[in-house]
Amino acid sequence: MKINQSNIKKAKKYLNKNYCIGVPTETVYGLAANAYANLAVKRIFSLKQRPKNNPLIVHYLDINSLQKDCLINDDFIKLYKKFSPGPITYILKLKQNSKISKYVTNKKKSLAVRFPKHQIFRNLLRQLNYPLAAPSANISTRLSAVEATDVKEEFGSKIKYILDGGKSSIGLESTIISLTNKPTILRLGSLSVSRIKKVLGKKIILNLNPKKKITPGQSLLHYSPGIPLRMNVKYPKTNEAFLLIKKRKISLDNYFYLSKKNNLNEAAKNLYSSLRKIKKKGYKSISVERIKNIGIGQSINDKLKRASKFKISNQIKNLNFK
Ligand code: TXA
Ligand code: MG
Protein backbone atom coordinates (compact mmCIF):
# COMPACT_ATOMS: atom_id res chain seq x y z
CA MET A 1 0.00 0.00 0.00
CA LYS A 2 1.26 3.50 -0.90
CA ILE A 3 2.02 5.80 1.99
CA ASN A 4 0.05 9.02 1.89
CA GLN A 5 2.04 11.67 3.78
CA SER A 6 -0.91 13.98 4.25
CA ASN A 7 -2.74 11.19 6.12
CA ILE A 8 0.31 10.58 8.30
CA LYS A 9 0.41 14.31 9.02
CA LYS A 10 -3.22 14.27 10.09
CA ALA A 11 -2.60 11.27 12.34
CA LYS A 12 0.35 13.06 13.92
CA LYS A 13 -1.74 16.17 14.54
CA TYR A 14 -4.34 14.21 16.53
CA LEU A 15 -1.72 12.23 18.45
CA ASN A 16 0.13 15.42 19.43
CA LYS A 17 -3.15 16.68 20.90
CA ASN A 18 -3.40 13.51 23.05
CA TYR A 19 -6.24 11.96 21.07
CA CYS A 20 -6.52 8.26 20.17
CA ILE A 21 -6.48 7.14 16.55
CA GLY A 22 -6.84 3.82 14.71
CA VAL A 23 -3.60 2.48 13.21
CA PRO A 24 -2.94 -0.48 10.92
CA THR A 25 -0.49 -3.19 11.93
CA GLU A 26 0.39 -6.49 10.26
CA THR A 27 -1.34 -8.38 13.11
CA VAL A 28 -4.54 -6.44 13.90
CA TYR A 29 -5.48 -2.74 14.01
CA GLY A 30 -4.43 -0.81 17.11
CA LEU A 31 -6.05 2.02 19.07
CA ALA A 32 -3.00 4.26 19.46
CA ALA A 33 -2.04 7.20 21.67
CA ASN A 34 1.09 8.85 23.11
CA ALA A 35 2.52 6.39 25.66
CA TYR A 36 4.23 9.22 27.56
CA ALA A 37 1.06 11.27 28.14
CA ASN A 38 -1.31 10.39 31.01
CA LEU A 39 -4.35 11.97 29.38
CA ALA A 40 -3.81 10.18 26.06
CA VAL A 41 -3.39 6.80 27.78
CA LYS A 42 -6.46 7.31 29.98
CA ARG A 43 -8.47 7.95 26.83
CA ILE A 44 -7.49 4.53 25.44
CA PHE A 45 -8.84 2.77 28.55
CA SER A 46 -12.08 4.68 28.50
CA LEU A 47 -12.74 4.15 24.76
CA LYS A 48 -12.01 0.44 24.98
CA GLN A 49 -13.92 0.06 28.27
CA ARG A 50 -10.81 -1.76 29.41
CA PRO A 51 -10.18 -2.59 33.08
CA LYS A 52 -7.44 -0.31 34.43
CA ASN A 53 -5.35 -3.27 35.59
CA ASN A 54 -4.91 -4.61 32.04
CA PRO A 55 -1.63 -3.06 30.82
CA LEU A 56 -1.03 -1.90 27.25
CA ILE A 57 1.58 -2.80 24.62
CA VAL A 58 3.87 0.06 23.64
CA HIS A 59 5.06 0.24 20.02
CA TYR A 60 8.55 1.46 19.13
CA LEU A 61 10.35 2.02 15.85
CA ASP A 62 13.52 0.20 16.92
CA ILE A 63 15.81 -0.85 19.74
CA ASN A 64 17.38 2.63 19.99
CA SER A 65 14.11 4.30 20.88
CA LEU A 66 13.25 1.42 23.25
CA GLN A 67 16.43 1.72 25.32
CA LYS A 68 15.28 4.97 26.91
CA ASP A 69 12.48 3.10 28.65
CA CYS A 70 13.46 -0.56 29.12
CA LEU A 71 16.32 -2.79 30.22
CA ILE A 72 17.32 -5.27 27.56
CA ASN A 73 18.97 -8.69 27.88
CA ASP A 74 20.59 -11.38 25.68
CA ASP A 75 17.38 -13.34 25.04
CA PHE A 76 15.74 -10.15 23.87
CA ILE A 77 18.57 -9.33 21.47
CA LYS A 78 18.49 -12.81 19.91
CA LEU A 79 14.75 -12.62 19.28
CA TYR A 80 14.81 -8.98 18.21
CA LYS A 81 17.44 -9.68 15.55
CA LYS A 82 15.43 -12.54 14.12
CA PHE A 83 11.79 -11.49 14.45
CA SER A 84 11.49 -7.71 14.82
CA PRO A 85 9.95 -5.76 13.31
CA GLY A 86 7.18 -8.32 13.33
CA PRO A 87 4.43 -10.11 15.26
CA ILE A 88 6.14 -10.65 18.62
CA THR A 89 5.69 -8.71 21.87
CA TYR A 90 8.33 -8.79 24.61
CA ILE A 91 7.76 -8.15 28.31
CA LEU A 92 10.85 -6.35 29.66
CA LYS A 93 11.82 -4.55 32.86
CA LEU A 94 11.00 -0.85 32.89
CA LYS A 95 13.83 1.56 33.59
CA GLN A 96 13.31 3.64 36.71
CA ASN A 97 13.59 6.92 34.81
CA SER A 98 11.38 5.82 31.92
CA LYS A 99 8.86 8.36 30.65
CA ILE A 100 6.09 5.79 30.13
CA SER A 101 2.81 6.96 31.70
CA LYS A 102 2.01 5.05 34.89
CA TYR A 103 -1.43 4.30 33.44
CA VAL A 104 0.11 2.15 30.66
CA THR A 105 1.43 -0.45 33.09
CA ASN A 106 -0.92 0.12 36.03
CA LYS A 107 2.26 0.88 38.00
CA LYS A 108 3.80 -2.50 37.14
CA LYS A 109 7.60 -2.65 36.83
CA SER A 110 7.49 -4.43 33.46
CA LEU A 111 6.44 -3.20 30.03
CA ALA A 112 5.09 -5.00 26.95
CA VAL A 113 6.85 -3.73 23.81
CA ARG A 114 6.50 -4.44 20.12
CA PHE A 115 8.08 -3.26 16.87
CA PRO A 116 5.35 -3.34 14.22
CA LYS A 117 6.26 -4.15 10.63
CA HIS A 118 3.46 -2.33 8.81
CA GLN A 119 5.09 0.42 6.71
CA ILE A 120 2.43 3.04 7.49
CA PHE A 121 2.81 2.52 11.23
CA ARG A 122 6.63 2.63 10.95
CA ASN A 123 6.45 5.80 8.89
CA LEU A 124 4.26 7.39 11.55
CA LEU A 125 6.60 6.33 14.39
CA ARG A 126 9.57 7.86 12.53
CA GLN A 127 7.86 11.24 12.74
CA LEU A 128 7.00 11.16 16.44
CA ASN A 129 9.20 11.81 19.45
CA TYR A 130 7.27 9.38 21.66
CA PRO A 131 6.26 5.69 21.35
CA LEU A 132 2.64 4.65 20.86
CA ALA A 133 0.62 2.66 23.35
CA ALA A 134 -1.79 0.60 21.26
CA PRO A 135 -4.03 -2.24 22.35
CA SER A 136 -6.11 -4.00 19.72
CA ALA A 137 -8.75 -1.62 18.33
CA ASN A 138 -11.87 -3.28 19.72
CA ILE A 139 -14.12 -2.87 22.74
CA SER A 140 -12.80 -5.14 25.54
CA THR A 141 -13.49 -8.89 25.09
CA ARG A 142 -14.91 -8.38 21.58
CA LEU A 143 -13.45 -9.38 18.21
CA SER A 144 -10.27 -7.65 17.13
CA ALA A 145 -10.33 -5.37 14.08
CA VAL A 146 -8.41 -6.28 10.92
CA GLU A 147 -9.66 -3.47 8.64
CA ALA A 148 -10.25 0.25 9.02
CA THR A 149 -14.01 -0.35 8.66
CA ASP A 150 -13.94 -2.75 11.64
CA VAL A 151 -12.39 -0.02 13.79
CA LYS A 152 -15.12 2.36 12.66
CA GLU A 153 -17.70 -0.29 13.59
CA GLU A 154 -16.23 -0.62 17.10
CA PHE A 155 -15.85 3.07 18.01
CA GLY A 156 -17.92 5.07 15.51
CA SER A 157 -17.46 8.81 15.87
CA LYS A 158 -15.83 8.41 19.29
CA ILE A 159 -12.39 8.32 17.71
CA LYS A 160 -10.95 11.21 15.76
CA TYR A 161 -9.13 9.44 12.97
CA ILE A 162 -8.27 6.05 11.48
CA LEU A 163 -5.20 5.55 9.30
CA ASP A 164 -6.30 3.09 6.63
CA GLY A 165 -3.58 0.58 5.81
CA GLY A 166 -5.69 -2.09 4.13
CA LYS A 167 -6.46 -5.50 5.62
CA SER A 168 -3.93 -6.72 8.21
CA SER A 169 -1.70 -9.24 6.42
CA ILE A 170 -1.49 -11.73 9.32
CA GLY A 171 -4.83 -11.20 11.06
CA LEU A 172 -3.96 -12.60 14.52
CA GLU A 173 -2.43 -10.77 17.49
CA SER A 174 1.30 -10.96 18.22
CA THR A 175 2.79 -13.75 20.32
CA ILE A 176 3.68 -12.46 23.80
CA ILE A 177 6.85 -13.64 25.54
CA SER A 178 7.98 -12.49 28.97
CA LEU A 179 11.76 -12.06 29.23
CA THR A 180 11.97 -10.56 32.72
CA ASN A 181 12.93 -13.98 34.07
CA LYS A 182 12.95 -17.40 32.37
CA PRO A 183 11.44 -16.98 28.87
CA THR A 184 7.68 -17.56 29.22
CA ILE A 185 5.03 -17.45 26.50
CA LEU A 186 1.93 -15.65 27.84
CA ARG A 187 -0.17 -15.49 24.68
CA LEU A 188 -0.11 -17.61 21.53
CA GLY A 189 -0.11 -15.56 18.37
CA SER A 190 1.12 -15.38 14.84
CA LEU A 191 4.69 -16.44 15.57
CA SER A 192 4.90 -20.12 16.50
CA VAL A 193 6.43 -21.23 19.79
CA SER A 194 8.73 -23.68 17.95
CA ARG A 195 10.34 -20.88 15.90
CA ILE A 196 10.96 -18.85 19.06
CA LYS A 197 12.40 -21.88 20.84
CA LYS A 198 14.79 -22.58 17.97
CA VAL A 199 16.27 -19.08 18.17
CA LEU A 200 16.62 -19.04 21.96
CA GLY A 201 18.07 -22.55 21.97
CA LYS A 202 16.63 -23.35 25.38
CA LYS A 203 13.48 -24.43 27.12
CA ILE A 204 10.61 -21.97 27.14
CA ILE A 205 7.77 -22.04 29.61
CA LEU A 206 4.17 -21.90 28.40
CA ASN A 207 1.86 -20.05 30.78
CA LEU A 208 -1.36 -19.43 28.87
CA ASN A 209 -4.07 -20.03 31.47
CA PRO A 210 -2.52 -19.40 34.87
CA LYS A 211 -4.67 -19.35 38.03
CA LYS A 212 -3.34 -15.89 38.74
CA LYS A 213 -3.85 -13.92 35.52
CA ILE A 214 -0.65 -12.16 34.44
CA THR A 215 -2.06 -11.08 31.12
CA PRO A 216 -5.78 -10.31 31.15
CA GLY A 217 -5.83 -11.44 27.48
CA GLN A 218 -5.45 -14.85 29.07
CA SER A 219 -8.95 -14.63 30.51
CA LEU A 220 -11.06 -17.30 28.89
CA LEU A 221 -13.87 -15.02 27.79
CA HIS A 222 -12.14 -13.10 25.03
CA TYR A 223 -12.20 -12.57 21.28
CA SER A 224 -15.93 -13.15 21.42
CA PRO A 225 -18.24 -12.76 18.42
CA GLY A 226 -21.04 -12.34 21.00
CA ILE A 227 -22.88 -15.54 19.98
CA PRO A 228 -22.25 -19.18 20.94
CA LEU A 229 -19.48 -20.97 19.04
CA ARG A 230 -18.66 -24.72 18.84
CA MET A 231 -15.39 -26.22 17.64
CA ASN A 232 -14.38 -29.46 15.86
CA VAL A 233 -17.79 -29.80 14.25
CA LYS A 234 -18.52 -32.28 11.45
CA TYR A 235 -22.16 -31.42 10.79
CA PRO A 236 -23.66 -28.02 11.67
CA LYS A 237 -27.12 -27.67 13.16
CA THR A 238 -29.84 -26.13 11.00
CA ASN A 239 -29.66 -22.32 10.90
CA GLU A 240 -26.11 -22.38 12.26
CA ALA A 241 -23.24 -20.67 10.40
CA PHE A 242 -20.55 -23.21 9.43
CA LEU A 243 -16.94 -22.00 9.28
CA LEU A 244 -14.83 -24.21 7.01
CA ILE A 245 -11.16 -24.64 6.16
CA LYS A 246 -11.50 -27.06 3.22
CA LYS A 247 -13.60 -26.71 0.09
CA ARG A 248 -16.89 -28.68 0.09
CA LYS A 249 -18.50 -30.22 -2.98
CA ILE A 250 -21.75 -28.42 -2.40
CA SER A 251 -22.10 -24.80 -1.38
CA LEU A 252 -24.75 -23.63 1.03
CA ASP A 253 -25.72 -20.14 2.23
CA ASN A 254 -24.53 -20.85 5.76
CA TYR A 255 -21.02 -21.97 4.64
CA PHE A 256 -18.19 -19.51 5.26
CA TYR A 257 -14.58 -20.23 4.34
CA LEU A 258 -11.47 -19.44 6.36
CA SER A 259 -9.60 -21.14 3.52
CA LYS A 260 -10.55 -23.49 0.70
CA LYS A 261 -7.18 -25.23 0.68
CA ASN A 262 -6.63 -26.00 4.35
CA ASN A 263 -4.07 -23.16 4.41
CA LEU A 264 -3.55 -22.10 8.03
CA ASN A 265 -2.02 -18.68 7.28
CA GLU A 266 -4.95 -17.82 5.06
CA ALA A 267 -7.31 -19.06 7.78
CA ALA A 268 -5.65 -16.82 10.37
CA LYS A 269 -5.97 -13.82 8.09
CA ASN A 270 -9.69 -14.48 7.58
CA LEU A 271 -10.62 -15.52 11.13
CA TYR A 272 -11.83 -12.26 12.68
CA SER A 273 -13.39 -10.91 9.49
CA SER A 274 -15.37 -14.14 8.95
CA LEU A 275 -16.67 -14.10 12.53
CA ARG A 276 -17.66 -10.45 12.11
CA LYS A 277 -19.44 -11.22 8.83
CA ILE A 278 -21.40 -14.12 10.36
CA LYS A 279 -22.47 -11.99 13.30
CA LYS A 280 -23.62 -9.19 10.97
CA LYS A 281 -25.71 -11.60 8.91
CA GLY A 282 -27.72 -12.29 12.04
CA TYR A 283 -26.75 -15.92 12.73
CA LYS A 284 -27.42 -16.96 16.31
CA SER A 285 -24.63 -19.53 16.56
CA ILE A 286 -21.44 -20.66 14.82
CA SER A 287 -19.89 -24.07 14.31
CA VAL A 288 -16.30 -24.48 13.15
CA GLU A 289 -14.71 -27.39 11.30
CA ARG A 290 -11.67 -29.01 12.96
CA ILE A 291 -8.48 -27.00 12.41
CA LYS A 292 -5.08 -28.70 12.57
CA ASN A 293 -3.44 -27.88 15.89
CA ILE A 294 0.02 -27.06 14.52
CA GLY A 295 1.91 -23.78 13.99
CA ILE A 296 -0.47 -20.86 13.62
CA GLY A 297 -3.34 -23.40 13.76
CA GLN A 298 -2.61 -23.71 17.48
CA SER A 299 -3.13 -19.96 17.90
CA ILE A 300 -6.35 -20.02 15.86
CA ASN A 301 -7.66 -22.84 18.07
CA ASP A 302 -6.65 -20.94 21.20
CA LYS A 303 -8.67 -17.89 20.10
CA LEU A 304 -11.64 -20.07 19.09
CA LYS A 305 -11.55 -21.86 22.43
CA ARG A 306 -11.73 -18.53 24.26
CA ALA A 307 -14.52 -17.36 21.95
CA SER A 308 -16.40 -20.62 22.64
CA LYS A 309 -16.60 -19.74 26.36
CA PHE A 310 -19.28 -17.22 25.48
CA LYS A 311 -22.57 -18.32 27.05
CA ILE A 312 -26.11 -17.10 26.55
CA SER A 313 -25.98 -16.16 30.26
CA ASN A 314 -23.45 -13.46 29.32
CA GLN A 315 -25.93 -12.05 26.85
CA ILE A 316 -28.63 -11.95 29.52
CA LYS A 317 -26.26 -10.25 31.97
CA ASN A 318 -25.60 -7.58 29.36
CA LEU A 319 -29.27 -6.81 28.77
CA ASN A 320 -30.25 -3.42 29.98
CA PHE A 321 -33.78 -3.11 31.37
CA LYS A 322 -34.33 0.61 31.29
O1 TXA B 1 -0.69 -7.79 17.76
C2 TXA B 1 -0.81 -7.17 18.82
O3 TXA B 1 -0.18 -7.46 19.83
C4 TXA B 1 -1.83 -6.01 18.87
C5 TXA B 1 -1.31 -4.90 17.93
C6 TXA B 1 -2.22 -3.69 17.92
O7 TXA B 1 -0.01 -4.56 18.26
N8 TXA B 1 -2.03 -5.53 20.19
C9 TXA B 1 -2.70 -6.22 21.14
O10 TXA B 1 -2.86 -5.52 22.34
O11 TXA B 1 -3.13 -7.34 20.98
P12 TXA B 1 -3.90 -5.94 23.49
O13 TXA B 1 -3.86 -4.83 24.46
O14 TXA B 1 -5.21 -6.27 22.91
O15 TXA B 1 -3.23 -7.19 24.16
C16 TXA B 1 -2.06 -7.02 24.92
C17 TXA B 1 -1.93 -8.06 25.97
C18 TXA B 1 -2.99 -7.92 27.04
O19 TXA B 1 -3.59 -9.18 27.26
C20 TXA B 1 -2.21 -7.45 28.25
O21 TXA B 1 -2.74 -7.95 29.44
C22 TXA B 1 -0.82 -8.00 27.99
O23 TXA B 1 -0.66 -7.88 26.62
N24 TXA B 1 0.22 -7.22 28.67
C25 TXA B 1 0.53 -5.91 28.50
N26 TXA B 1 1.51 -5.52 29.33
C27 TXA B 1 1.86 -6.60 30.07
C28 TXA B 1 2.80 -6.83 31.11
N29 TXA B 1 3.60 -5.88 31.56
N30 TXA B 1 2.86 -8.09 31.63
C31 TXA B 1 2.06 -9.07 31.17
N32 TXA B 1 1.13 -8.91 30.18
C33 TXA B 1 1.03 -7.70 29.65
MG1 MG C 1 -6.92 -7.36 22.46
Judge if 194 and 251 occupy the same domain. Answer: no
Same domain, 162 and 23: yes
Ligand 1, atom 17, residue with closest C-alpha? 217
Q: Give tens-digit pLDDT for 89-117.
A: 999 999 999 999 999 999 899 999 999 99
What integer pLDDT is reported at residue 29 of this predicted model? 98
d(CA 118, CA 72): 24
Where in the sequence is the domain holding 76, given as residue range(s)?
Answer: 5-206
pLDDT at 314: 53
Same domain, 199 and 233: no
Please check whether residue 180 lies inside any domain of the structure.
yes
User: Any residues with Cβ below 6 Å from ligand 1, and which?
Assistant: 25, 27-28, 30, 54-57, 89, 91, 105, 108, 110-112, 114, 134-136, 173-174, 176, 186, 214-217
pLDDT of residue 210: 73
Tally of CA atoms within 13 A in the half-sphere of 178 that contains its CB: 16
Same domain, 236 and 202: no
Distance, CA 138 to ligand 2 centroid (Å)?
7
Which tens digit of pLDDT belongs to each residue from 277-309?
A: 999 999 999 999 999 999 999 999 999 998 888
**Separation of CA 217 and ligand 2 centre (Å):** 7
Q: Considering every ligand atom, which ligand is closest to the CA of 214? A: 1
Q: 271 and 172 in contact (C-beta within 8 Å)?
A: yes
Q: What is the whole-number distance in angstroms between the Cα of residue 209 and the centre of ligand 1?
A: 15
Number of domains observed in the structure of the chain? 2
- Asked whether residue 220 is assigned to any structural domain, the reply reads no
Residue 217 lies in a domain: no
* End residue of a domain, out of 140, 175, 206: 206
Q: Is residue 214 part of a domain?
A: no
Q: What is the pLDDT of residue 319?
A: 44
pLDDT at 74: 97
CATH, residue 285: 3.40.50.11030
170 with 250, same domain: the answer is no
User: Which residue has a Cα nearest atom 19 of ligand 1?
Assistant: 217
Q: Are residues 251 and 119 in the same domain?
A: no
86 shares its domain with 18: yes
- For β-strands 255-257 and 70-71, DSSP reports them as unpaired
Is residue 175 located within the same domain as residue 252?
A: no
Please check whether residue 215 lies inside any domain of the structure. no
Contact 89, 112 (CB under 8 A): yes
How many angstroms separate the alpha carbon of residue 221 from the centre of ligand 2? 12
Q: Which of 174, 206, 238 is the last residue of a domain?
A: 206
The pLDDT score that the predictor gives to residue 321 is: 41
Q: Which of 61, 107, 115, 176 to mutate to test the pocket of ligand 1 (most atoms within 8 A of CB)?
A: 176
pLDDT at position 316, please?
46
- Shared-domain flag, residues 235 and 200: no
* CATH, residue 63: 3.90.870.10
Give the residues of the chain that fall short of pLDDT 70: 1, 211-221, 311-322
Based on the fold, state whether residues 146 and 248 are members of the same structural domain. no
